[in-house]
Amino acid sequence: MKPFIALLVIVCVVATGVLSLPAGRTAAADESCPDDGSLCAMLSLLPDLLNDPSGPYDQVYYDNYAEHLRRLGFTAPTSFEGEDWDNFRAASFDFAGAGDHLQFFTFWEQQMGYSPFLIDQVIALQHLPGSITLLRGRFDRPSVEAFWSASGYTPNTVNGEVFWKLRGDNQQNLRQAPLLSSPRYNYAIFVRENVIAYSSTALGINATVQAASGHAPTVAANGAVAPLLAHVPIDLASAVLGRGAQFGSASTWMMFGVTPGGPARTNPRTGTPVVSLPADTPLRHAYAALLYAPGVDVDQTATAITSTFLSGSSRRTERPYTEYFQDLSVTVDAPNQVVAVDYASQPTNQADLFSFLLNGDLGFLV
């Protein structure tokens, strides 16, 4: 089974440390983000811990299940069986976190206090060794908070805000149920009536409250992130943001995402689609926005990316990239040192786009 919180839980490997704030932010990024669960909107709720030296690894995962299902004409599932569940699994198989922690998925409602099918968007900032995760959905706040109280969380107050604490910073308890044993759920709070925040540290949960209330800078306004946001569509189904070096790219920062679309996933043994998509379903597109250091020739970089895309081969499969991807478009935003890349899935030879990315095998972006 390839599910929803499979993605959800890997996405929940996030972090928070000392709130040391990098320079070069713009408030405009926060103000321009609609409250719609899009990548921009979710980034505008995350505290900006990027470049904080207390966290040696910065990465953000984002998944938008609601938009993905809506664009494909599917209904959100209500159980782990039936056509809606089959459609969901097939439609979201190549999200950023697909495939991990599947053994915990069916335990979500029992251990977290609400159905996983109520979650519409997920975003998580990975800033090791801590964690911050935001879930946007259709929650009943009183019942969720009652569950926290019954599960061992205790209410605490900081700066007039009540948050719920299960354990101390980065602590885990392997004797507890699999999900609640993880430090990523040590602290919890509603930062909106429809947004739950979890963190492994008190600093992380406090930083999230401050950011969500407009009293601290957010990732959306980070000087490295705002120029990238301008080059990706708002309807991304899934996205990853991080330092280019973490993805084998020469860019200083990189944002990579996919939009909802076809082709449908096929059965690897039979080659037949595992789900029927509407005839007018657009091709899934991938978007990459790469930020380069001052002095880098972005025009030359764009030319090199195009050339490698058209003539290069996958390191893992030794097959041309054009067998997996098509319709390349590369544009240059010279004032902001950004190169933007847009391409579509190859219907005849599908590829898990995030698998390529996370395995450092997107050679045409290096």
Q: Which residue has the higher pLDDT, 347 or 291?
A: 291
C-alpha pair distances (Å), 219 with each of 3, 44, 258: 28, 6, 20
Q: In terms of Cα–Cα distance, which of 47, 25, 9 is closest to 125?
A: 47
Classify residue 201 by its DSSP letter: S
pLDDT, tens only, 171-225: 887 777 677 778 889 999 999 999 999 999 998 999 999 999 999 999 999 999 9
Amino acid at 365: L
Distance in angstroms (rounded) separating the CA atoms of residues 105 and 112: 11
Which of 13-22, 82-91, 357-366 has maximum average pLDDT? 82-91
Q: For all residues of the chain together, what is the average pLDDT?
A: 82
Read off the tokens for 254: 């990189």
Indicate the angle between helix axes 65-72 and 83-91, nearest 10 degrees.
Answer: 110
Residues 134 and 46: beta-carbon distance below 8 Å: yes
* pTM flag (> 0.75): yes
Residues 48 and 21: beta-carbon distance below 8 Å: yes
Average pLDDT over residues 253-265: 85
Distance in angstroms (rounded) separating the CA atoms of residues 83 and 231: 35
Distance in angstroms (rounded) separating the CA atoms of residues 291 and 261: 26
Query: 10 Å Cβ neighbour count for 167?
Result: 18
Residues 67 and 37: beta-carbon distance below 8 Å: yes
User: In terms of DSSP bridges, do strands 238-243 and 195-199 run parallel, antiparallel, or are they unpaired?
Assistant: unpaired
Maximal CA-CA distance, the chain: 59
Under DSSP, is residue 145 helix (H, G, I), strand (E, B) or coil? helix
Indicate whether 238 pLDDT > 70: yes
**Burial of 14 (C-beta count, 10 Å sphere; 0-12/13-18/19+):** buried
- DSSP of 256-299, one letter per residue? EEE-S-BSPPB-TTT--BSSPPPTTPPBPEEEEEEE--TT--HH
Could you state, in order of their start, the residue ranges of all structural domains in the chain? 4-221, 230-365
pLDDT, tens only, 89-145: 777 776 775 444 445 677 888 888 999 889 999 998 877 778 899 999 999 999 999
Amino acid at 348: T
**Vertex 76 angle, CA 231 and 237, to 5°:** 10
